[in-house]
Amino acid sequence: MHLTKTKQFLHPQPPSKGHGSTPPSPTDELPQRAVEILRRLTQQYPNATCSLTYHSPVQLLVATILSAQCTDVRVNQVTPSLFERYPDAAAFAESDLEQLTQLVRSTGFYRNKAKNIRAACQLIMTHYEGRVPAKMEDLLQLPGVARKTANVVLAHAFGINAGVTVDTHVKRLSNRLGLTKQTDPGKIEQDLMTLLPQPEWENWSIRLIYHGRATCGARKPDCGNCALADLCPTAQS
State the DSSP string of 118-169: HHHHHHHHHHSTTS---SHHHHTTSTT--HHHHHHHHHHHH----S----HH
**Which of 167, 206, 232, 209 has the alpha carbon at shortest distance from 36?**
232
Task: Assess whether 167 carries a catalytic annotation.
Answer: yes
Rounded to whole angstroms, the Cα distance separating 149 from 62 reads 10
Nearest to 151 by CA among 106, 209, 82, 99: 209
* Alpha-carbon span 74 to 106, nearest angstrom: 8
Answer whether 146's CB lies under 8 Å from 110's CB.
no
Cα(88)–Cα(93) distance, rounded to whole angstroms? 9
Q: How many CB atoms lie within 10 A of CB 193?
A: 16
Cβ 123 vs Cβ 98: under 8 Å: no
Kindly name the residue from 72, 88, 138, 167 that is annotated as catalytic: 167
What is the rounded CA–CA span in Å between residue 201 and residue 195?
10
Task: Pick the catalytic residue from 113, 148, 171, 191.
Answer: 148
Residue 7 a catalytic site member: no
172 neighbors 162 (Cβ within 8 angstroms): no
Whether 230 contacts 178, CB under 8 Å: no
Q: Provide the annotated active-site residues.
A: 148, 167
